[in-house]
Structure 1
Amino acid sequence: MLNQLQYGDVLVSAKDASQHLIASAKPLHGFIQVVCERTGSSQFHLYEQLKRDIATGLYRIKRKGSPKHSPLQQGDAQLDATQSRALSLCNQIKQYMHKYGVSERRAYQALTESHEGRPSVTLSTVYRYMQRLRHGLPPLRGAKNKGPRSRIQLEDRTLVCQLACQYYLEPSSRYSTSAFVKHVNEALRAPREGVSEERRKQLATSLSRKAILGIIRRNITRTEDKERMQPELRQAAFSIATKKIRVSGPLMRVEQDALHLPFQVATPDGISSNVYVVHCIDAYSGVVLGWSLSIGTPDVQATLRCLEKALFPKREILGEYGISTPNDYFGTPAEIVFDNGPENHGVRIQALSRLGISVTHCKARQAQQKPYIERLNRSLKEALETLPGSTRFNRKDGKRVPKEGPIGIEELEAWLVKWYYQAWLHTPLERHKRSIFSAAPKGGETPAEVWSHAQDTGVPIPLSPSPNQWRLAYYERSQRMLARTTGITMNGFSFRGPNLKELYSIFGTNEVTVLSNPDDFRHVYVLGDDEALYLLQNSDTDETTPALSFRQARELLAQTSTKQEHPEKRAFNEQLFQHNSSQPISNPPLKGKSKSIRISSKETAAKNKLSAAIARTNEPLPKAAGLTASTCSSKLDVSKRPTGLSVKPRRS
């Protein structure tokens, strides 16, 4: 009924929701006065242009007295018929008034007499119809705008709202809905200040659940379940998928996720039920590009191992499981979507941008932002839930104790890979079937057909990086000194090898850029020119050394050096400490010019040799061959000088 603009109408902008008040209903020289409620400024707009803006939806008219639920919203056929009769009657009265110049009453009486019967509506009803039409409102408002008056007064509604905020609308409330309804009725019947006994008798009949929830929804919130939920679960439970994700080609968008597998798994170190698989899927075709099994919570290493399978060819890996595929699915993703798990954060994940990969983290607990990998997770669990060791029961994980025993970790991985490339790869997907309605259909129903169609039609598929480029993005960088004897020293380990001589000739004893994998302490790389990498081996490792991380290697080294100190060594150290503590600390002052340490040491050595010779004077001679016992027992007479021995006179 908004046929004309009226004074007091509000124009609501569709762009910024700003409101503009109509200050003059009639155009003046083709212009109409409008007041902006935000700034209070008055402006004149061209009336014809304003009509076009309203017709194109730039402005929406908000009129005082308009029904909350318009006839267009209700869609009631009976209301439409009654509305049509009311409008027809009002138009006949208007025409009669203009033709004969009479009032509404005389026109109503004349039309009633001409019909020769009882009027369908009374005169007062006609007055209301005509008044609403003059204000630009529909004659009838409809049944949705009616309703019984609430028998709950303002103070009672206030009490219900207070109790709801205190007991019901809180996370993990101990009150269920039925218990809260009972509590509210008891509180309304209890003696209260300012409430008469007569009013309390009126509330003797309990309020219904619908009435109490209606008060909460009209005055506090329409989503009481959201308020009663834990804050960390609200976003996932009430997240809404607002738009469909569309991808232009293979590897333009890759989604990766860590999925807990509901299995008891036998590993070389024992049985575990904490098993995860990190896998990624191409959003365009649905092909699984990579996977990585992890015992325990996945880390960054598991994420990068999965991505490494997606980047490089894996036909040989699939051949080990007896799988042959029509294509080898690999390449560099343009965008990879992670969740907010700890395995998807850090410097090594952000370094993927060096390969031209856009890293995106979806919001926490909003699975609709990566729907394709979530669809894969559900299908994977449903397909493998019959394997031995499964803890899945009635589509719920962890509800079953496997009586048949655990499954081997290698057997579980084999079934995973076979399902990826023998079952899922050839499964028709509903979204591929519905692609026929788009301008460029994907050319198949299964992931394998869509990928093959993209290759046959010349859709560009990104290439893989070189192994050195992957190491430059995957490994951590640090600056280390290059030594001629020890090579590169990092985290207490020395790295040498055949390339050390060439590196020394290129860089000398200077700082170099070292690339190290935190998850493998057996080797490092030195970065040269043109992305050249020189391998250096850990001098403490050989071909039999496992690929330990630097942290594991340091912990293992610390465990081997925890042997207790020998008691005798401990006693010696204590004696040495006591001896050193008993010696005076201060030194006597030096008199005159002291001799050098070298001269003093030389003189001390000469005196020591002479003292040792004097000390050996009375030592018995060793027995020699051919001498008799009597000869050996005779003493040497030193008073007689041997013949032929001359002694030089002593210098005075």
Structure 2
Amino acid sequence: MMSDLRTGDRLAAASKPESYFEVLDSRLHAGSIQIFDSERHESRYVDEARMRVAISEGSLVLHRKGMPRVSIAAQYENDALHDQVRVLTYALRRIDEIREQRGVSFDAAIPLVRDAYGKERAGQLLVRPFPSRATLYRAHRNQRLGLPVLKGDRNKGNSTARYSKELVEFVEEVIESEYLVTESKWTILDTTKYIDREARRRGLHVAKHAISRKFVCARIRDLTVDAEYDRMDPLDRVAGKSYAKKRIRAAFPFARIEQDALHLPFVVRTSHGVARTVYLVLAIDVCTGYPVGWHLVIGSPREMDSLLCLEMYLTPAKGARFSELGILHTLNIFGTPGQVIFDNGPETKGGRIYRLERLGMDVKHCKAKEAQGKPFIERLNRSLKEALQRLPGCTRFEGKDGARDPEALGEELMTVEELEKWIVRWLYEDWVNSPLARHRWDELLVDSLKGKTPLERLTYQTEEMGQPITMPPPRHEWMAALFEHELCALNAHTGIALKHGFRYKGEAISYLLSKYGDRAELHVVYNPDDFRQAYVYEGSDLPLVTLTHEHVRPDTPAWTFAEAKARFDTGMDNWTAPDAKVQFEHDMDKAVTGNGKASKRKTRSKREENKETVQRSKDNSAIQRAIDRPLSAAAPFGPVPWINPSLTAEDHLPHDISYDAAPLMNIVNRNTGEKLL
């Protein structure tokens, strides 16, 4: 028995074409065929049925000599090819039937089948002509070799490469070194022209025609599946090329909250001037699509701005803001979310953001610029900018922020309060009442879910289904988790002193002194974003005791501790002490230090002390040598000194020589001769 596998066929894994099995003998031996294993470099028998299963599953791919590169099935758009294959298959089948019935040759059966084909289609319109004799012979040969009867137009073309291997390698080298690099300035056209010039200079391309842009693009596709990704900045690749593997779903409200800081393309008026850097910190409930909090910021957002937005859905602060803006929205939902998703912006990297976990929340940070990590807030951000781009002061044009200058166009700018009111109105009047595609699919596929808009879905799940919203954290727990902690001593005169020397007192000082006594160490918490007050934490079952800075007034701004300290120190930068104060300090220093006592000698280093000790030792040795070896009066050598007998003994003694009467000498520069002294 013969297998349909033919001698010379190769079976290889789709991902490893270099590792293959080659059929050496297609005859079956106890259900096995003989193959050559290229990895093991050996010949062996394998089960033919297992090979068939592997081909069917796609784990092995059959490579046969003459097999077309593109199969007939893959050329689905070529209707003429499929019609011609159908006619050829019909003709070959009828020829085989006539040959078997009448015992004639293949050539003799062709006219008989042609006549039958014409009679069967007599009177029909648009009948495809019967294939020629040559076409039938080629199709018959392909059929016998186990190949398709036709290959189709997509398999046409040169079977050999148009350009040499050396030229292709050079082209790929240029593409990898110049084009497929981060933020490359080379375009496809620049790369193509350079390749053509350099290839001719190196003698790799001598033909008259130039290397085409199409050829270069084909080589780029061979080297990478996404050239744009390779040329992008690494920080932008995550945002530009991220994709979602599966849809994120939250089972109930407040199970997952996504929060993000959005740069608003607006120029607005403030009480301090015109602002061009406006941010909105926004949060959305993933389950329902309902926006749960917002906070508008002039300038880049900070950690405190993220916490102020968080406070919108952890406390009932949202209701008060609705009233201030004059917006009639009765629903004020707040509680403790199960999970909060942030990005890696600077406004979410502070220690207090991580301490949200102490309130029972799961805090997660996405990768930088990874939009798919928090897709729901990103979708809300995009819709918000598209909805408000017609308002005055917007810099958005044709989908691009900052593309227009509203001031140059003479637009009347809105105030920051007017912009915030438009934002909140759109969120709670338009967005919450707009049908969402994911809610409509839920209604279609899940019988237990109702509500097409965020507001309808939230109302249905909380009121109809009875799904509860988790309770908000108590105020003292919220403050204990997010405020800074410090152990401070209670003082009856100064109160409680925190960092930078800020002192806090108040009516509650008498309560604390009566309960804990003077000098008692207390647990103090304070908001680093507001220096005006500090709080004494007495336990989870007692409220916080509030103390106020001793110099704060009711209208004092809520500066951060760092800002308050900087402003306090700024007043001393240009201050100089009066002369009377300086003179008094000078006189005091002189009176204290000028009391006749010798000033304390500067402490010597060990090196200096050792140097002085060595020098004194050397001096002492020299003195001792002089004592041991006194000078001798006798001349040790030379002629005997001459003595004049007419002189007295005193005249022979040496006398001191004086130069007082000698004339003065001039001192001059030895290089120029100029007189110096």
Question: Which category of TM-score, normalised to the shorter sequence, fits these structures?
Answer: 0.7 to 0.9
* Alignment partner, residue 364 of structure 1: 368
Aligned equivalents of 1:425 and 1:374: distance in 2? 16
How much has 1:237 moved relative to structure 2? 2.0
Matched letter for residue 130 of structure 1: R
Q: 2:496 maps to what in 1?
A: 488
Match of 2:378 among 374, 381, 384: 374
1:277 aligns to 2:280 (yes or no): yes
**Mapping 1:581-600, distance limit 5 Å:** 582=594, 583-585=596-598
Structure 1 residue 366, shift from structure 2 partner: 2.6
Q: Which moved more, 1:25-34 or 1:482-491?
A: 25-34
Query: Structure 1 residue 116: deviation in Å?
Result: 7.8
Unaligned stretches of 5+ in structure 2?
116-131, 601-677
8 A contact 2:355–2:481 mirrored in 1 = yes
Structure 1 residue 352 and structure 2 residue 352: aligned? Answer: no
Deviates more, 1:112-121 or 1:142-151: 112-121
- TM-score, with structure 2 as normaliser: 0.72
2:234 is aligned with 1:235: no
Taking the aligned partners of 1:43 and 1:480, their CA distance within structure 2 comes to: 84
Q: Which residue number corresponds to residue 634 of structure 1?
A: none
2:550 aligned with 1:550: no
Q: Distance in 2 between matches of 1:27 and 1:87?
A: 29
Tell me, in whole angstroms, the C-alpha distance in 2 between the residues paired with 1:25 and 1:511: 93
| 2:144 counterpart residue number | 130
* Residue 431 (structure 1) aligned to one of 411, 414, 438: 438
Match of 2:405 in 1: 400
- In terms of mean alpha carbon deviation, does 259-268 or 276-285 score higher? 259-268
The CA distance in 2 between the partners of 1:330 and 1:37, in whole Å, is 67
Is 1:443 aligned with 2:450? yes
TM-fit CA distance, 1:112 = 5.2
Q: Partner of 2:190 in structure 1?
A: 179
What residue is the counterpart of 1:208 in the other structure?
A: 212
The partner residue of 1:268 within 263, 268, 271 is: 271
Report the alpha carbon displacement of residue 342 of structure 1 after superposing the two structures with TM. Answer: 0.7
Going from structure 1 to structure 2, the CA distance change for 1:297 and 1:241 (only over 3 Å counts) comes to same
The SS at the match of 2:497 is strand
Q: Is 1:319 equivalent to 2:330 in the alignment? A: no
Q: Distance in 1 between matches of 2:218 and 2:108?
A: 48
Deviations 1:342-362 (A, max 9, x none): 101121111111222222222
In the alignment, which residue of structure 1 is the partner of 2:529? Answer: 519
Percent identity reads: 32
- 1:302 shift after superposition: 0.6
- Larger mean CA deviation between 547-556 and 559-568 belongs to 559-568
Report the CA distance between 1:384 and its aligned residue.
Answer: 2.7
Give distance in 2, aligned partners of 1:561 and 1:39.
Answer: 85
Q: C-alpha root-mean-square deviation of aligned residues, in Å?
A: 4.2
**Structure 1 residues 60-139: aligned runs within 5 Å:** 60-65=59-64, 68-75=69-76, 76-81=78-83, 108=106, 115=113, 119=133, 121=135, 126-131=140-145, 133=146
Post-superposition offset of 1:231: 2.6
Change (3 A) 1:474 1:48: farther
The alpha-carbon deviation at position 158 of structure 1 amounts to 2.4
Amino acid at match of 1:550: F
1:226 aligns with 2:263: no
8 Å Cα contact 1:169-1:227 kept in structure 2: yes
Please say if residues 139 and 150 of structure 2, whose CA atoms lie closer than 8 Å, have aligned partners that are also in contact: no
CA distance 1:8–1:270, change in 2 (3 Å): same
* Equivalent residue, structure 2, for 1:153: 164
Which structure 1 segments of 5+ residues have no match?
588-652
Instruction: Give the residue type in structure 2 aligned to 1:584.
Output: K
Relative distance call for 1:155 and 1:468 in structure 2 (3 A) is same
Flag the 1:529–1:365 CA change in 2: closer, same or farther, 3 A. closer
**For 1:211 and 1:40, how far apart are their aligned partners in 2?**
38
Aligned length: 565
| Structure 1 contact 257–279 (Cα < 8 Å) conserved | yes
Q: Name the amino acid aligned to 1:453.
A: Y
Taking the aligned partners of 1:39 and 1:310, their CA distance within structure 2 comes to 66
- Alpha-carbon distance, 1:432 to partner: 2.8
**SS in structure 2 of the partner of residue 290 of structure 1:** strand
**Partners of 1:20 and 1:34 within 8 A in 2:** no
1:12–1:20 CA contact under 8 A, matched in 2: no
Using the alignment, how far apart are the partners of 1:514 and 1:362 within structure 2?
A: 34
Whole-angstrom CA distance in 2 between matches of 1:217 and 1:35: 34
Structure 2 CA distance for aligned equivalents of residues 366 and 96 of structure 1:
68
Distance across 2 between alignment mates of 1:443 and 1:381: 28
Residue of 485, 495, 506 corresponding to 1:477? 485
Q: Tell me if the contact between 2:88 and 2:136 (Cα under 8 Å) persists in the aligned partners.
A: no
Structure 1, residues 149-200: CA drift from partner, whole Å, max 9, x if none?
54222222223223323433333333333233233322233x325x5xxx52
Alignment counterpart, residue 289 of structure 2, candidates 283, 286, 289 = 286
Q: CA deviation at 1:408?
A: 1.7
| Match of residue 607 from structure 2 | none
Task: After TM superposition, give the deviation of residue 296 of structure 1 in Å.
Answer: 0.6
* Aligned residue identity for 2:578: H
Q: Decide which of 552, 570, 585 is 1:541's aligned counterpart.
A: 552
Give the counterpart letter for 1:474 in structure 2: L
Matched, 1:389 2:393: yes
Matched residue, 2:654: none
SS in 2 for 1:520: coil
Distance apart, 1:386 and its partner CA: 3.5
CA contact (8 A) 1:93 1:107 kept: no
Structure 1 residue 385, shift from structure 2 partner: 3.0
1:564 corresponds to: 576
Q: Helix, strand or coil: the match of 1:9?
A: strand
Shift of 1:68: 4.8
Q: Aligned to 2:74, what secondary structure does the other structure show?
A: helix
Does the 8 Å CA contact 1:428/1:445 hold for their aligned counterparts?
A: yes
Inter-CA distance 565–207: structure 2 relative to 1 (3 Å threshold): same
Give 2:11's aligned residue: 9
Structure 2 CA distance, aligned partners of 1:553 and 1:41?
83
Q: In structure 2, how many angstroms separate the alpha carbons of the residues matched to 1:252 and 1:34?
A: 59
Secondary structure at 1:546 match in 2: coil
CA contact (8 A) 2:487 2:524 kept: yes
Q: String of CA shifts for 1:22-46, please: whole Å, max 9, x gaps.
A: 9999999899999999999999999
Contact kept? 1:335, 1:360, Cα under 8 Å? yes
Tell me, what secondary structure is at the counterpart of 2:524?
A: strand
Query: Which residue identity is paired with 1:564?
Result: T
Over 3 Å counting, the alpha-carbon distance change for 1:45 and 1:126 in structure 2 is closer
